[in-house]
Structure 1
Amino acid sequence: MMLLQVTGLLLAGLVAGGLNAVAGGGSLITYPTLLAVGVPPLYANATNGIAVAPAYAAAAFGSRDNLSGQRRRALTLIPTAFVAAICGTILLLNTSHAVFENLVPFLVLAATLLMAVGPWVNRKVTALNGGRALHPVALHIGVGLGCLYGAYFNAALGLVLLAVIAMSLTESLARIGALKNFCTFIVGVVTVVVYGLFADVAWWAIGVLIPATFIGGYVGARVFQHLPERPLRIGIIVYGVVLSAILLVR
């Protein structure tokens, strides 16, 4: 049975890493797979949060050049992202299994809808570039809410932060993406420390998912990039809607 569980998680990690490299939405693959191999919903969520954290670190490191000229802005966002992520983890740790299990279908559906508006977000970024930025407080409010959500339920965190940062700044997509990666890195650090110390997580599953998602991301960046993104995104959206419906009625 353990071999079957490891194989399932390995395949899920490879697929999730590849999807994240192209269209995003990898957590919509890894989270339900954790449920399928027997990890309870609350523990599966914390486990998934730790498993994806190294990928956040890699993305932040890879986009560090686009933080040039944004050092002060990034530094001022650290307390906002950190406190919000802490609040998100505390909220999860104080959520009962029954309540979280009832919330999961709606959280999955919300993440799926965010996948659906991803292209619109990109167009919004392009339209806002060169326009008038919102008040800096708007950026902190948006990042704070995004990091709170991401620490509580990881799926589609990148899309949430991309949207709120894009609507608050007049920067290129690459620079906004770098700031987004910086914030997700902070969320990743917080979730690893807090959930690693205080949550019941499946470390064996984390050990399988981390290398699998990295390999999947590498392969996806080199191979999946030749595939059209739109069908992949539509497939993830359909999968997410069906999954949320199954979780709602089970």
Structure 2
Amino acid sequence: FAGQINGTTGYEEAGAQGLIAGANAALKVANREPLILGREQAYIGVLIDDLVTCGVDEPYRMFTSRAEFRLMLRQDNADRRLTPLGRAAGLVDEERWQRLRDKQEQIDDTKQQLDTTRAGDVTLTKLLRRPEVEWTELIQHCPSLTMVTEEVAEQVVYDVKYAGYVERQQVQIARQQRLADKRIPDNFDYEAIGHLRTEAKQKLTRVRPISIAQASRISGITPADMALVLAHLQRGRTSSAADDAS
């Protein structure tokens, strides 16, 4: 029903909206703060933000390409991302909450073990960061890792291997929040932005928004588009500063 009202198509999209609508209806009755998921927290957050800020001209489908922070929204960390939020909203019972806490404790303990165990002149953590190294190779250097469950081992591997990329994306998230009201020059050339969608180039060129905040509210302009505009704008200012310094 929520999907039909808001103009989405697909069972998952409808189910996601129904879940949030039901949770917030209960929270409102209880005079509690609503459950609002950010774009960097969940695909549901991306979907709802798109519907609220952009509207729909045709049935909306949730594609991973609509999210600018996809690395944060991996399926392997969904429970760690969303269970605490669900717990705060009263959607997660004590058994499930304790299960997550136990899992997180095992993950933390395993990471500490990798940090303190060496394979030659490097720690197992640094060894695991190498693309060609798998979990089975770590077991050869530390047999006690055979006691780690497959679920925990998989999460540790992802966390260690993706750590650098995740940190960079976290910096990007903070930067976008700071630059939400950044001004756009009148002569800004959207055609020069590589990988920017043709539709986005046409709409931005036609409207000529004066700020990033205004540009982001244009119907059909996605946060992924704005991430590209921000990056290009930032590079342009950096180049200008370098030219002035020289």
TM-score by length of 2: 0.22
TM-score by length of 1: 0.21
Give the structure with the larger helix fraction. Answer: 1
- The structure whose RCO (Cα within 8 Å, separation 6+) is larger is 1
